């Protein structure tokens, strides 16, 4: 059977990808952020999954605002990197895992999640930047296949944090019921606090972020109980992306170990963070 081996929470700020693409990671502005990633990247390189299930949001690059599904899943053989207005990032196209996708669609439907299905999808920075955070130098191909899971965080009314956490729990059950012996990592992307426009543009709330970074491990129910208005007030209009971390957290078992985390302000307009959790599963065994 398939197993979930780890969960990664990471910001997806586009300029983090651009810094890697344009070899600026040693520049004084970027070095502290990338130094903070290093221990997680080392550990993930030693614990490669076969498939990454990446919970992310499209930013009106691939999916127009006239039709925004609350939850979606990609079922394609592969996904092109989206052109967000300045050409496609020079990173490999994303290879899908259609058999696992189809399994997840059916299991989630049967578990009362009426998820939209994308047979064709271009993936924007919400997905490609987390892949680069995981694997900075993919060469010609990413080291794993990908199942994209989409969450609407950009158009009111976004799903509740509680519903996202429940989706994650259903997703974890669905992954573990896949009858092939594959290793799966789950990514929760976006956040932390940021607001890109309006009177509060530039908002950063370190106190809220620090609370969230701790509670995502130990008290996810507390975060699931917050309303969308709580997220937008405390973390900003784009900070509500943090509800996608709860999907990842829900997919992990009760027994997890924090491998590494890092928090850095600012990356562009955002409080950027990474948190990596090993899923110890039913056995509770730690792998090093």
Interface residue list for ligand DHB (CB under 6 A): 12-15, 59, 190, 194, 196, 238, 268-270
Q: What would the DSSP string read from start to end of 144-178?
A: SEEEEEEE--SSSSPPPHHHHHHHHHHHHHHHHT-
Pick 12 or 260: Cβ nearer ligand DHB? 12
Residue nearest ligand DHB by beta-carbon distance: 268
Residue 118 DSSP symbol = E
What is the smallest separation between the CB atom of 158 and ligand DHB, expressed in angstroms? 14
Structure tokens at 5: 């081996």
Closer to ligand DHB by CB, 72 or 172: give it.
72
Six-digit token string for 137? 């130098």
CA distances from 201 to 29, 48, 227, 280 (A): 21, 38, 21, 40
Distance in Å, CB of 7 to ligand DHB, minimum: 19
Smaller CB separation from ligand DHB, 194 or 249: 194
Calculate the alpha carbon distances from 58 to 85, 235, 256, 268, 277 in Å: 14, 19, 29, 19, 24
14 or 130: CB nearest ligand DHB: 14
CB of 260 to ligand DHB, least distance (A): 21
Catalytic site residue 103? no
Bridge-based pairing of strands 122-123 and 145-151 is unpaired
Q: Say whether 125 is catalytic.
A: yes
Residues 6 or more apart in contact with residue 205 via CB below 8 angstroms: 193, 234, 235, 236, 239, 271
Give min distance, CB of 283 to ligand DHB, in A. Answer: 36
Q: Catalytic residue positions? A: 125, 194
């Amino acid at each position: 059977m398939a197993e979930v081996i780890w969960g990664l929470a990471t910001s997806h700020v586009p300029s983090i990808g651009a810094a890697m693409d344009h070899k600026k990671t040693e520049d004084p502005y970027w070095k502290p952020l990338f130094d903070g990633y290093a221990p997680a990247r080392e550990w993930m390189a030693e614990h490669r999954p076969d498939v990454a299930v990446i919970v992310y949001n499209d930013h009106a690059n691939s999916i127009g605002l006239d039709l925004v599904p609350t939850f979606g899943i990609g079922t394609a053989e592969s996904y092109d990197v989206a052109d967000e207005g300045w050409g496609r990032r020079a990173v490999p196209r994303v290879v899908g895992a259609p058999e696992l996708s189809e399994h997840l669609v059916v299991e989630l439907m049967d578990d009362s999640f009426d998820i939209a299905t994308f047979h064709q999808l271009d993936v924007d920075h919400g997905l490609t930047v987390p892949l680069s955070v995981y694997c900075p130098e993919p060469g010609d191909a990413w080291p794993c296949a990908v199942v994209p899971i989409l969450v609407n965080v950009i158009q009111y009314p976004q799903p509740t944090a509680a519903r996202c956490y429940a989706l994650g729990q259903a997703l974890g059950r669905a992954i573990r019921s896949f009858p092939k012996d594959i290793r799966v990592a789950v990514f929760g992307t976006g956040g932390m606090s940021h607001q890109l426009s309006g009177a509060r543009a530039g908002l950063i709330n370190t106190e809220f972020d620090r609370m969230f970074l701790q509670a995502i491990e130990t008290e996810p129910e507390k975060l699931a109980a917050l309303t969308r208005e709580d997220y937008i007030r405390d973390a900003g209009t784009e900070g509500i992306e943090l509800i996608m971390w709860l999907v990842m957290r829900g997919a992990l078992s009760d027994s997890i170990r924090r491998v590494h985390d890092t928090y850095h302000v600012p990356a562009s307009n955002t409080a950027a963070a990474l948190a990596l959790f090993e899923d110890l599963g039913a056995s509770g065994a730690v792998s090093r």
